[in-house]
Structure 1
Amino acid sequence: MELTSISPFELVESLFEGVVVHSATTEIIYANPRALNILRLTENQVLNKDAYDPQWHFVSTKGNRLAFEDYPVSIVIRTKQSISNVEVGVCDSSSSDITWVLCNASPKFNQDGTIKFIIVSFIDITSTKVAVPFESIVANANDIIVITKADADDPQIVYVNHAFTKLTGYEPDEAIGKTPHFLQGTDTDKDTRSRIRDALRNDHDVREIIVNYSKTGVPYWLDMNIFPLKNSLGQIIYFAAVERDVTNEVTKVEKLTHLASQDPLTGLLNRRGFEQAVTNTFADGNFALHTLALIDIDHFKHINDTHGHDVGDIVLTQLANRLKKFFRDSDLICRYGGEEFIVLMQKTDINYNVGKFEQFRTAIEETSFSINKQLNLSITVSLGLTQIPISDIRLESHIKHADIALYQAKHGGRNRIQVYEV
């Protein structure tokens, strides 16, 4: 088909650009199919209606409703000049949505110089416009925002905001293309990671508190809310994580928890902390032979009565320090109450540990406790030992057995060790 065989009308009808023709008094005398589609109107709804019909109105780029005299067609009628690339929003009664268009308008004149009609053409730029500048908001939000590809097993980072860089020390080009796993470390909980992965595999939202590490290796805690992002077809294309730094809050809780489980005088575990530590030990499947020792300072009441409780506190503190130096880091040491201490030696047989505790008893007997320049004290301790059999986690009964053995040691002359016998 030759180009000359195509009528101008057919060309206008097939344009991707919307075209509307107004009379000199703004009535619409023609609208091509693309214009009707962009404006979400039918031909019957627009023909012979003027530009000021209440079915529709225009808004500025700031969202303010335009006055009639500021409509593109009104400007052309008033100035008798063309306008180019004017950006306006079109609203109609069928929807609250705004259709944003880039508009051009030109007058066509009669021989006497009066306007015969106005041709308005426009293209839809709604996809490039948003009512609120979300990208700017996200970029400058105080919360950390990370967006990854929608792959639960390999969620590569495609975007991070300024708050991410401020907290982690990683610039965007150092993070984009990697998975968030690169921020994790030895103390990042495996169960938490697993729950996150399972939720994302099932396209579910998930919220967790997790520890990550900055570029310099400093740990920080995040309250992390992760959710899928969908496209217009309902397909999940990204995962978005909105994260809040809760390091201070977690640190406060940890400090309070530590204080609740710590003896304020000696810094050792208190009874509550010891019981929780033992529970954790057995919860980890640590079923093995353990030795539990109950240690009591001989004649401690005499020290308090003779020298005062301040001196007694110094003796307790110095004995606690010697316990910490003498036993292993893996052993649990507790001030059980008053002048009584407990030591749980893990994964060791009592036959071996009797000798170890005997060394400790002898060391205390031979130690001079320096109270001040004028006062040095010597003390002795009595010990009751019991074996914790494999898989027997009844802590209360084992402490009772050690207490029986301690009672026997004291009544047998003090400054000695007694092993509980069934």
Structure 2
Amino acid sequence: MSDVHAIGPEHSVPPAMIARAATLAGGGAWRCELAGERLGWTHGVYGLFGIDPGVRVERPEIVGLYEDESRETMERVRSAAILSGSAFTFDAAIRAVTGERRWMRVWGEVESRDGRAVALNGFKQDVTRQRAELEQLRARAERDPLTGLGNRATFEARFLDLPDPASAGIGALVLLDLDGFKQVNDRYGHDAGDACLRSFAMRLWDTLGDAALIARLGGDEFAALLPHGPMLPRARLIARVIPLLASPVAWQGKLVHFGVSAGIAAAQGSPESCFAAADAALYAAKRAGRNQVRIASAGPAAAPPHFASVPARETLYARHGNTHRK
């Protein structure tokens, strides 16, 4: 026999039970009468905003608790619903009166009389924890777990997938590679190599703080997307900080040494051609010796044909499948 029973008109749910269920769900019901914009809340909504139940709430004050972008979204969605008479839902970030930042999910519908909207009724639920969990999942998907920088997928999405990097505010691509990293792993072990990668990543972040993205592409290769600006000063800056980036890392009482090479290319043309030019400049820097920086020459000859003919993704996958370029 089923333990589930239908509730008919003769067994209506008490309002207190409904309010309690809403509070347990992390939210509550709300109502806004459009004439005068008078608000009505259950206890759950008061708790969401950090306001004592029963306190008279005025809509202008409550709207002021929304963060700017969420406030704009709320007003836009609300106005469209009143005009169309349709139901709506959106997520909004607020600052409770306690100062705590919270996320809530808002559902609403329009109450009309004689074809005219007179009130909005709905439900608000605290989704702060769910949003935090979503952000954590997104961060794990977008970041390299060893260094905390962006990963290769993020680099592809934010650079290689762009139709025109320059129009997206990207002025240059820098590719960097650790010299002698294989010898570090062979001599000291992979834990020491990981320590070098983490230290290098932190130094790179501190040095190129204005970069739109700093990512580890795989192995010992990194990339930075720089904003618009003259190329020569950029190259000189990187050349000046190379000794810092390549300074030895302390590991179990020893100093582990490695070098750094860098290739820079202006974000001109397609992402593929820019990557090929920066890659060619990086190889030129490595051929010139440890701790060198090279700028890709402008124009069609920026990269030799054998670089330009290989798509950037294939280059990255081939390079960092299970091998490292040293």
Q: Shared fold (TM-score greater than 0.5)?
A: yes
Code of the aligned partner of 2:256: L
Structure-1 residue corresponding to 2:180: 299
Match of 2:261 in 1: 382
Q: Which amino acid aligns with 1:339?
A: D
Once the two structures are TM-superposed, the CA of residue 330 in structure 1 deviates from its matched residue by 4.4
Cα deviations across residues 33-73 of structure 1 (Å, max 9, x unaligned)?
xxxxxxxxxxxxxxxxxxxxxxxxxxxxxxxxxxxxxxxxx
Q: 1:132 to 1:230 in 2, by over 3 A?
A: farther
Q: Distance in 2 between matches of 1:286 and 1:146?
A: 44
Q: In the TM superposition, what is the alpha-carbon distance from 1:350 to its structure 2 partner? A: 1.2
Correspondence for 1:372: 252
Report the Cα offset of residue 371 of structure 1.
1.1
Equivalent in 348, 353, 365 of residue 229 of structure 2: 348
- The counterpart of 2:198, out of the listed 317, 324, 327, is 317
Task: Work out whether 1:409 is the aligned partner of 2:285.
Answer: yes
Superposed, which structure 2 residues align to 1:49-128 within 5 Å? none
Cα distance in 2 between the residues matched to 1:287 and 1:311: 38
Alpha carbons 1:156, 1:178 under 8 Å: kept: no
Q: Structure 1 counterpart of 2:251, which letter?
A: I
Counterpart of 1:420 (choices 276, 283, 296) is 296
Judge conservation of contact 2:173–2:274 (CA < 8 Å) in 1. yes
Show structure 1 runs of 5+ residues with no match. Answer: 1-96, 99-130
Match of 2:242 in 1: 361
Distance 2:202 2:61 in 1: 46
| Structure 2 partner of 1:255 | 136
Contact 1:289 1:348 in 2 (8 A): no
Change (3 A) 1:292 1:234: closer
Q: 2:189 aligns with which of 299, 304, 308?
A: 308
For residue 208 of structure 1, what is the aligned residue in structure 2? Answer: 90
Report if the CA contact (8 A) 1:146-1:157 is conserved. no
CA contact (8 A) 1:156 1:179 kept: no
- Equivalent residue pairs, number: 286
Pick the structure with more helix per residue.
Answer: 2
Query: How far apart, CA to CA, are the structure 1 residues paired with 2:202 and 2:119?
Result: 55
- Residues 161-200 of structure 1 mapped to structure 2, 5 A cutoff: 161-171=42-52, 172-178=54-60, 180-188=62-70, 190-191=72-73, 193-200=75-82
In structure 2, distance between residues paired with 1:399 and 1:282: 13
CA distance in 1, matches of 2:194, 2:225: 23
Quote the Cα distance in structure 1 between the aligned partners of 2:166 and 2:78.
Answer: 25
2:32 — aligned with what?
Answer: 148
Q: Mapping of 1:25-44 within 5 angstroms?
A: none
Bigger CA drift: 329-338 or 161-170? 329-338
Calculate the aligned-residue CA RMSD, in Å: 3.0
Shift in alpha-carbon separation, 1:291–1:284, aligned structure 2, 3 A: closer
| TM-score, scaled relative to structure 2 | 0.77
Render the CA deviation track for 1:52-111: whole Å, top value 9, x for unaligned. xxxxxxxxxxxxxxxxxxxxxxxxxxxxxxxxxxxxxxxxxxxxx99xxxxxxxxxxxxx
TM-fit CA distance, 1:270: 0.5
Distance 1:278 1:199, change over 3 A: farther
Percent sequence identity over aligned pairs: 24
Alignment TM-score, normalising by the size of structure 1: 0.61
One-letter identity of the residue aligned with 2:279? D
- Residue 295 of structure 1 deviates from its aligned partner by 0.3
The alpha-carbon distance between structure 1 residues 169 and 191, as it changes in their structure 2 partners (threshold 3 A), is closer
Partner AA of 1:266 in structure 2 = T
Offset, 1:284: 11
Secondary structure at the counterpart of residue 238 of structure 1:
strand
Closer, same or farther in 2 for the Cα pair 1:254/1:239, shift >3 Å? Answer: same
CA pair 348-246 structure 1, distance change in 2 beyond 3 A: same
Distance 1:176 1:161, change over 3 A: farther
Assess, with a 3 A threshold, how the Cα gap between structure 1 residues 355 and 271 changes in structure 2: closer, same or farther. Answer: same
Q: 1:228 — aligned with what?
A: 110
Residue identity in the other structure for 1:208? F
Compute the displacement of 1:420 (Å): 0.9
Cα distance between partner residues in 2 of 1:283 and 1:245: 40
